[in-house]
Amino acid sequence: MTAKMYYDNDADPAALARQTVAIIGYGSQGHAHALNLHESGVEVVVGLAPDSKSRKLASDAGLRVVDVAEAVKAADVIMILVPDTAQKAVYDEEIVPNLRSGHLLMFAHGFNIHFGRIDPPGIVDVGMIAPKGPGHLLRSVYRSGGGVPALFAVHRDPSGTALSRVLAYGRALGSTRAGLLETTFAEETETDLFGEQAVLCGGTAALVKMGFETLVEAGYQPELAYFETMHELKLIVDLLYRGGLNFMRFSVSDTAEYGDYISGPRIIDEHVRATMKQVLTEIQDGTFARNWIAESESGRKEFDRLRAADRDHLIERVGSRLRGQMPFLDPIEVAAGQSQASATTPGATR
Ligand code: NAD
Ligand code: MG
C-alpha cells in the first residue's frame, strides 16, 4: 500500500482567498499556524481569552487579536489550537453558539472529535491538518523555506469545499512543501498518541534516562554519560532523518553497527513489543483518553507530580551546565509553566 501524497501543486491557494482564518489559541501550534498563514498571504485573526497572556505576543507579532467568539463570527475557517483538554469548554462556550453554515472547523489533532467530546452540528465542515512536528519547528522550518509534513483529513463536508480549503490551509502552513498525507480522525488520533507515547516522547525519554543512569550508577562521570546518551542522540537522529537506518549504519563504525545488531534487540525486546501492543490497545479502546481527561479535570495532581519528579533529574542539571558552554547550540532554559510561544519568540528568553 502506498499512500497518496499531496504537494504544492495539489493545493490551490485560491480556496482561501477572500476567506478569514481564525486561529484559536496562541501556544506551540497556534503561533506557528497564525504566523505562517499570515506570511503566506492568508487573512488571519487570532482568538484569545480577554485575560490571555498571549495577547501581547500575538499583537506584537503584527496579528489581529480579538475574543474567541468574535474571531469565530469574523471567520470562514476556525482552527482550534488550545490544549486538547481545554477544547471542549472553549468549544461549548464560545465556538458552537457562533457556528454557521459554510464554516470549516479545523483541528490539529483528532482527539476531541474521535473520542466524541466535540460533536459539531451537521451544517459545518470539519477537517484536520495535523503537523508531524512541534510548533517551534513548524515555524522555523517554514521561515527557512521548508515545511513540516502533515496529515490531513476531512470528517464532514456539507459545503463541498472542505477538501480544497484544508489543502490550501496545508499549503499556507508550508506543509505541502514536505508532503500532506490523507488520513481519518481515527487513524491520526490513535497513531499520534501511540507514536508520542511509545517512541517519540515516552520511549525516547525513558531510553535516554535509563542509559544515563546505568552509566552513572556504574561510576562513570555524569558529564560523559550526558554526552554519550543525550547529546550524541541528535547526531544519530540527524542521520536517520536524512537517510534512514541504512545511512546511520553506513556512517557509524562497523563496531557500532555490530553492537547495534547484537544488543539493540536485547534492550528493546519482545517484552517491549508486548507492552507496546498493550499501550496501543488502551489508546484504541479509549482507556488512555478517559484517564487523561479525568486527570486533567480533577486538577492534574499526578501529572504535576510526574513533571516535578523529572524536572531536576541529574541529566537535566548536568545537561544544562554543559549546553551553557556551547552557545552555538542555541541552548534554551524552559522555566516551569512557560508558554511555548514566548519560548520561541526571538529574544523572549535570552
Ligand atoms: P499549548 O499547550 O501550546 O496551548 C495553546 C494555547 O491555548 C495557549 O498558549 C493559550 O493561548 C491557549 N489556552 C491554554 N489554556 C486555555 C484554556 N483553558 N482556555 C482557552 N485557551 C487556552 O497547545 P498546543 O501544544 O499548541 O496544542 C494545540 C493543538 O495542537 C492540540 O490539539 C494538540 O494536540 C495539537 N498538536 C500539537 C503539537 C505540538 O507540537 N505541541 C503537534 C501537533 C498537534
Ligand atoms: Mg503528537
The C-alpha atoms of residue 180 and residue 127 are separated, in whole angstroms, by 13
Residue 346 scores a pLDDT above 50 = no
Q: Is the CB of 189 under 6 A from ligand 1?
A: no
Q: Is 131 in the pocket of ligand 1 (CB under 6 A)?
A: yes
pLDDT at 76 over 70: yes
Q: Confirm or reject: Cβ of 94 under 6 Å from ligand 1.
A: no
Please give the number of the atom of ligand 1 that sits closest to the Cα of 30.
26
What positions carry a catalytic annotation? 109
Nearest CA to ligand 1 atom 37: 29
Position 345 confidence tier, pLDDT thresholds 50, 70, 90: very low
> CB–CB of 19/191 below 8 Å?
no
Question: Distance, CA 137 to ligand 2 centroid (Å)?
Answer: 13
The pLDDT of residue 339: 57
Q: What is the pLDDT of residue 248?
A: 98
The confidence band for 334, taking pLDDT boundaries of 50, 70 and 90, is: confident
Are the beta carbons of 339 and 54 closer than 8 angstroms?
A: yes
Confidence check: pLDDT of 350 > 70: no
Q: pTM of the entire structure?
A: 0.91
CA of 224 to the centre of ligand 1 (A): 36
Nearest to 150 by CA among 126, 182, 121, 123: 182
Q: What is the pLDDT of residue 344?
A: 47
Nearest CA to ligand 1 atom 18: 86
Percent of the chain with pLDDT over 70: 96
Please report which ligand is nearest the Cα atom of 108.
1
- Report residue 33's pLDDT band, with 50, 70 and 90 as the boundaries: very high
- Structure confidence at residue 107 (pLDDT): 98
pLDDT at 71 over 60: yes
What spacing in Å lies between the alpha carbon of 101 and ligand 2's midpoint? 30
pLDDT score of 53: 95
pLDDT digits (tens, 9 = 90+) for 149-191: 999 999 999 999 999 999 999 999 999 999 999 999 999 999 9
Calculate the average pLDDT of the chain: 95
Mean pLDDT of 76-96: 97
Q: What is the pLDDT of residues 48-58, one digit of tens each?
A: 999 999 999 99
pLDDT at 244: 98
pLDDT value, residue 336: 80
43-47 long-range CB contacts below 8 Å, 24 or more apart? 43/19, 44/20, 45/20, 45/21, 45/71, 45/74, 45/75, 46/22, 46/71, 47/22, 47/23, 47/71, 47/72, 47/94
When pLDDT is averaged across residues 68-88 and rounded to a whole number, the result is 97
Percent of the chain with pLDDT over 90: 94
Atom 40 (ligand 1) nearest CA = 134
Nearest alpha carbon, ligand 1 atom 25: 28
Checking if the pLDDT of 347 tops 50, the result is no
- State in Å: Cα 193 to ligand 2 middle: 6
